[in-house]
Amino acid sequence: MKKVILILLVLASLAVLAFQFQPVKKAVTIVTSSIETPSLVNRDSLTIASRVNLPEGYKRVAYKKGSFQDYLRNYKLKPFGSKIINYDDTHYFWQGGHIGILEIPVPKNGLQQCADALIRIRSEYLWDNNRKDEIGFNFTSGHYCSWKKYAEGYRPKINGNKVSFHKTARANTSKDNFYKYLNLIYMYSGTLSLYNELEAVAAKDLKIGDMLIKGGSPGHIVMIADEVINDKGEKLFLLFQGNTPAQSVHLVKNLVDSAISPWYHLEDDAVIPVSNYTFGNSKFVRFK
C-alpha cells in the first residue's frame, strides 16, 4: 500500500511540474528528463568535476588551486544513485531531479535548509583555509553576526527586530562551537537576508560559487558548482541546492534541455526552472 501511495505521489509531482512548464511539448520533455539519467553523467565518479562530462566544444574555466571555485568543483559526492534524504532520515518524496548527492551531513534538527546549506559550505571552506575571521552573516533583521564575536562569547539578545549582542559565554574556538554558531545563523538568516546582503552579479560575470536567489518566505537559492566555456565565449554551469525540508544537498538536472543536462545556460531576468522550483524575479549574488 505504501508503495502505491509513493508511486501516486511521484506521478502527481511530475504532473504538477509538467503543467507548470507549458507548452505540452516542453512538459513531456520535463517528465522524460526526470526519469532518465542525462547522457553527460558519469556514474563511476565521486566528485562534481568527474561526475559530469563536458558538452562537445566546451572546456572547463580554469581556477586557482585552493580557491573557493576549485573547492566546489572538486567537492566529494556520494555514489551515483544515492537518494535525497530528509533530516528525519526519510526519503524525499521526489527523486527525479538530481544526479548527485554532496558529501555534507544533514543535521537532525531540521535547520539546514536551502540557504543554510550554502552558508555552511561557504563557512566550512573559510574555516578549512584559515580564514575564520571572514565568517559572518546578516540576520534577516539586518544585524551582522560574526563567528569571531560568537567565539569570544558574545550572544544575541533578540526582541522582535531589535538585536543586541552581549558577552554571556566563555570564549570557545572549537569546531563543535562553530557548528553551534551555524545553527544560530540558520535560525535567523535565510534567503531574504542573503538577497538583501550580498552583491548582485550580472550573468556575463558569473563564476563558480555564485548563486541564483529569490528572497522571501518561502524563497529559494542554488549555487554554481562548475563552469565551462566554448570558443565563442558561451558558458554553461552546473547547479546544486539544499531544500526545505532540510535534506541532502544535491546536483540538479536540467529538466527542460536534455541535450545539455545537467548543464544550464544562465541569463539575466530569465525564468529558470531548477529541479522542483522555478526562479523568476530573482538575481545572481556572490558571497563577500
CA dist list (Å): 222 to 2, 100, 119, 193, 250 = 32, 14, 11, 15, 10
Average of per-residue pLDDT across 114-118: 97
CA distances from 36 to 53, 258, 262, 288 (A): 16, 9, 12, 37
Percent of the chain with pLDDT over 70: 88
Bridging pattern class, strands 144-146 and 154-159: unpaired
Phi and psi for 5 in degrees, rounded to 5?
-65, -40
Length of the chain: 288
Cβ pair 197, 31 in contact under 8 A:
no
CB pairs under 8 A, 24+ apart, for 141-146? Answer: 141/188, 142/193, 142/196, 145/184, 145/185, 145/188, 145/189
Show Cβ contacts of residue 103 under 8 Å, excluding neighbours closer than 6 positions.
75, 76, 77, 78
Residue identified by cell 571555485 is: 69
CA–CA distance from 246 to each of 117, 177, 271 (Å)?
A: 9, 21, 25
Q: What is the pLDDT of residue 155?
A: 97
Residues whose CB falls within 8 Å of the CB of residue 163, separated by 6 or more in sequence, listed in order: 139, 141, 143, 156, 157
SS3 84: coil
- The mean pLDDT of 182-211, rounded to a whole number, is 97
What crossing angle do the helices spanning 24-35 and 2-20 adopt, rounded to 10°? 140
Angle at 63 between CA 60 and CA 64, to 5 degrees: 150
More confident residue, 286 or 37: 286
108 close to 116: Cβ distance less than 8 angstroms: no
Tell me if 193 sits within 8 A of 140, measured CB to CB: yes
Model confidence at 139, in pLDDT bands (50, 70, 90)?
Answer: very high
Q: At what angle do helices 175-188 and 114-128 cross, to 10 degrees?
A: 150
On the question of pLDDT at 33 being above 80, the answer is no
Q: What is the DSSP letter of 164?
A: E
Q: Which three cell numbers stand for residue 182?
A: 551555524
Distance CA 83, CA 267 (A): 30
The whole-model pTM stands at 0.88
Would you state the pLDDT for residue 233? 96
Q: Which amino acid is at 126?
A: L
Q: Range with the lowest mean pLDDT among 23-32, 164-173, 211-220? A: 23-32
Asked if residues 72 and 223 have their Cβ atoms less than 8 Å apart, the reply is yes
Residue 222 pLDDT class (50, 70, 90 cuts): very high
Single-letter code of the amino acid located at 152: E
